[in-house]
Amino acid sequence: MITRNRIRQIISEAAGVPDDIDMMTNIFTNMVKDYIGNFKQSGKDLDVGEADIKNYGETEFEYGKIEITEDESWNYVKNSPLFDEEKWKKFPMYKNSVEISFSIYPDKALDMNNINKPNVNAAHQFEPSDFGSKETEGVGKTYNSGNFEFKITMGQSNWDDLETLSPNIDAVIAHEVFHSYQLFVKHNKTNQIGFGKEHTLNTLASSIQKDFTKEFNYFLHALYLSLRFEQQARIPQTLKVLKTKNIKDYNDFIRELKKIDAYSDVETLKSFSADKLIKSLSSVKGLDDLFRKPMAQNHMKFAIENWNNILQHISDHAKSSGITTSPFRGMSQKLLENPELFFKHWEKVFDRRGDEFFRKLSKLYALL
């Protein structure tokens, strides 16, 4: 007989939210919020900076930084009331250093620029030479998954009431912990380190961005959103937010889903137009465009013509660093010689990936 918990576990796995990450996600979320709270309660002075904010003007902001060592994070994890050793053995993250930096701005400055309060950016990093599972004396099998970094932009209201950091911060932590879990599962199954082909495309998307190529950067952002390992990490992130909403039926679910960043990501992929991109890149609408468009056009031309070479360079560097790389076929010369065909190729990819992403998101209704 299948228990109710097992049925829910099967549904969770089908939706892309494995139960194995829940405990560590919740503990790390509490850790980050507790350390920020302790910093605030300590009365330690915040640093003060100045910024010229669009639509708002010059203003002062306060900022701080917290560094949690590997030993401190592990002590927090194992002493947490949420810690269950049997659950931890399924995903034995061990001794992860955590860096938290935060900036506090006037609420109005963020609101006027439609910036979420709080806005959380994060990164998960690891050294390939240290990566993997091993037997640790007195602990058992452990997984060295690397370090986490969280950069939080908050309003004064968030600082006054740290509970308002949720659910944004919970969702982002779920995203980063899931990335660690993805790497853990892949390494256990294949002994490989990294995300293979998608690693090269992700690195390329970030490495060839330039300030003067707004249109081309839009394409690179869509490329990043189309990567399956990024979409997979947005599933538990989205679920964290949806669980805080009052959802009674499927109409409520869709209404709330449309307010979440993941749905905007689907729309970005589905609405990408090769024709619109080329037209906007070639048009000159003002003095700013007059100077920037030729640079943008030249940069885009160089990037497309050298697409295969750039990917090969990234792949070679990753391999020399210890990352497992997958053989990939370069794009055909026919596509690289014709920007219109190049972008139309990716338009089809983005449209297909957008459909896939929405189907994954729609499965979350069964978990609410």
pLDDT digits (tens, 9 = 90+) for 9-38: 544 555 556 788 999 999 999 999 999 999
9 inside domain:
no
Asked whether the predicted pLDDT for residue 235 surpasses 70, the reply is yes
Task: Categorize the per-residue pLDDT at 327 as very low, low, confident or very high, splitting at 50, 70 and 90.
Answer: low
User: Which range is least confidently modeled, 65-79, 87-101, 274-288, 330-344?
Assistant: 274-288
Q: Is residue 6 part of a domain?
A: no
Are 200 and 328 a contacting pair, CB within 8 Å?
yes
For the segment 265-286, the average pLDDT, to the nearest whole number, is 88
Cβ neighbour number for residue 242 with a 10 Å cutoff: 22
Q: Which residue has the higher pLDDT, 62 or 129?
A: 62
Q: 111 CB contacts (<8 Å, ≥6 apart)? A: 117, 155
Q: How far apart are CA 293 and CA 213, in angstroms?
A: 8
Q: Which domain holds residue 329?
A: 194-368
Contacts of 112 (CB under 8 A, 6+ apart): 53, 54, 55, 56
Q: How confident is the model at residue 7 (pLDDT cuts 50, 70, 90)?
A: very low
Residue 149 lies in a domain: yes
Asked if the model's pLDDT at residue 6 lies above 60, the reply is no
Res. 126: pLDDT tops 80 = yes
- 159-180 pLDDT, tens digit each: 999 999 999 999 999 999 999 9
Span 286-313, average pLDDT: 84
Domain contains 11: no
The last residue of one of the domains, among 166, 191, 216, is 191
- Domain end marker among 158, 175, 191: 191
Residues 260 and 363 in one domain: yes
Picking from 278, 272, 277, 275, the residue whose alpha carbon sits closest to that of residue 352 is 272
Model-wide pTM > 0.75 = yes
Does the pLDDT at position 198 exceed 70?
yes
Q: 85 pLDDT band (50/70/90 cuts)?
A: very high
Pairwise pLDDT comparison (6 vs 186), residue with the higher score: 186
117, 164 Cβ separation under 8 angstroms:
yes
At 173, which amino acid appears?
I
Claim to verify: residue 181 and residue 203 sit in the same structural domain:
no
Q: Does residue 244 sit in the same domain as residue 165?
A: no
2 within some domain: no
- Mean pLDDT for 105-110 is 96
Domain co-membership, 169 together with 87: yes
Decide if 305 is inside a domain.
yes
Picking from 191, 221, 246, the residue at the C-terminal end of a domain is: 191
For residue 164, give the 3-state DSSP assignment: helix
Q: Within a domain: residue 336?
A: yes
Shared-domain flag, residues 147 and 275:
no
| Spatial separation of the C-alpha atoms in residues 260 and 267, rounded to whole Å | 11
* Mean pLDDT of all residues belonging to the chain: 90
Residue 3 lies in a domain: no
Give yes or no: residues 232 and 163 share one domain: no
Do 186 and 118 fall within a single domain? yes
- Would you say the C-alpha torsion 320, 324, 330, 331 has a positive or negative sign? negative
Residues 139 and 224 placed together within one structural domain of the fold: no
Q: Do 323 and 199 share a structural domain?
A: yes
* One domain, residues 235 and 178: no
130 with 232, same domain? no
The more confidently predicted of residues 300 and 269 is 269
Q: Which one has a higher pLDDT value, 191 or 2?
A: 191
Residue 195 confidence (pLDDT): 83
pLDDT, residue 212, reads 82
Among 192-201, 303-312, 326-335, top mean pLDDT goes to: 303-312
Task: Read off the DSSP letter of residue 127.
Answer: -
CA dist., res. 34 & res. 25, Å (int): 14
Q: CA 362 → CA 14, 234, 254, 350, distances in Å?
A: 11, 13, 8, 18
pLDDT top residue among 41 and 7:
41
- The structural domain count of the chain equals 2
Q: Kindly state the tokens that stand for 165.
A: 């950091």
Per-residue pLDDT, averaged over 93-100, amounts to: 96
Contact yes or no for 257/361 (Cβ under 8 A):
yes
Q: 283 and 352: one domain?
A: yes
